[in-house]
Amino acid sequence: MTTEGVTTDRAATVGLILAGGLARRMGGGHKVLREVGGESVLSRLISCLRPQVSALVLNVNDDADLFAAFALPLAADEVPGRPGPLAGVLAGLEWAARERPSARWLVTVPGDAPFIPADLVSRLHDERCKQRAELAVAASAGRIHPVVALWPVAIAHALRRALVDEEIRKIDRFTADYRSAIVEWPAAPLDPFFNVNTLDDLAEAEHLLAESEPY
């Protein structure tokens, strides 16, 4: 894709950090506020994503005051019962449609992935175009990461119907009806989509960061 095309995609793309879960395996709290390499996962994600998108939004459902210092707009789930990450995706899509009418795309990342790549948005758009797909999803080490994805804002109405009327909860069940481009990233020197779900994962993230080249 040309430089002009990448710029256009950035201007038309909103970024959403999904941090609406309960972090039970981490002992509660917010995983996105845990530190890796002396910096919160949220700070790392903001630094990485902000240059890639036109606006950045945080999906959280509790303790909004804890995030005031990050100066991000917040989008809470509007579907009750904490139905999972699809509700966060919907919150981001509807925020983009409402607050950024010129936005055509939403890129989503989990709030527990401290090593998201700096070329995430451009590569997702490139492969979406090359494969003439409707969605683009990241992969690494042969594994698909459905929460790391590029979504058309126009899909919001269909997603709301799926969540509310059909009670669909799994991302891959919803996306099965759409053409998806799978975009593979190398998993060395560290997997860019490694996530920290437990305290052991947090320790492993520190180890990976120390053993890898400067990221």
What whole-number percentage of the chain has pLDDT above 70? 91
**Distance between CA atoms of residues 137 and 96, nearest Å:** 19
Q: Find the mean pLDDT for residues 20-34.
A: 70
Say which CATH number the domain at 142 has: 3.90.550.10
**Distance between CA atoms of residues 120 and 149, nearest Å:** 9
Residue 213 contacts residue 204 (beta carbons within 8 Å): no
Predicted TM-score (pTM) of the model is 0.91
Residue 24: Cβ within 10 Å count: 9
The pLDDT of residue 3 is 33
Given a cut of 60, whether residue 7 has pLDDT beyond it is no
Range of the domain at 85: 3-211
Angle subtended by helix axes 120-130 and 3-11, to nearest 10: 110
Per-residue pLDDT tens over the stretch 146-184? 999 999 999 999 999 999 999 999 999 999 999 999 999
DSSP result, 145-199: EEEEEEEEGGGHHHHHHHHHTS----HHHHHTTS-EEEEEE--SSS-TT----SH
The pLDDT of residue 176 is 96
Mean per-residue pLDDT over the chain, rounded? 90
Looking at the structure of the chain, the number of domains it has is 1
Residue 179: Cβ within 10 Å count: 12
Residue 85 contacts residue 171 (beta carbons within 8 Å): yes
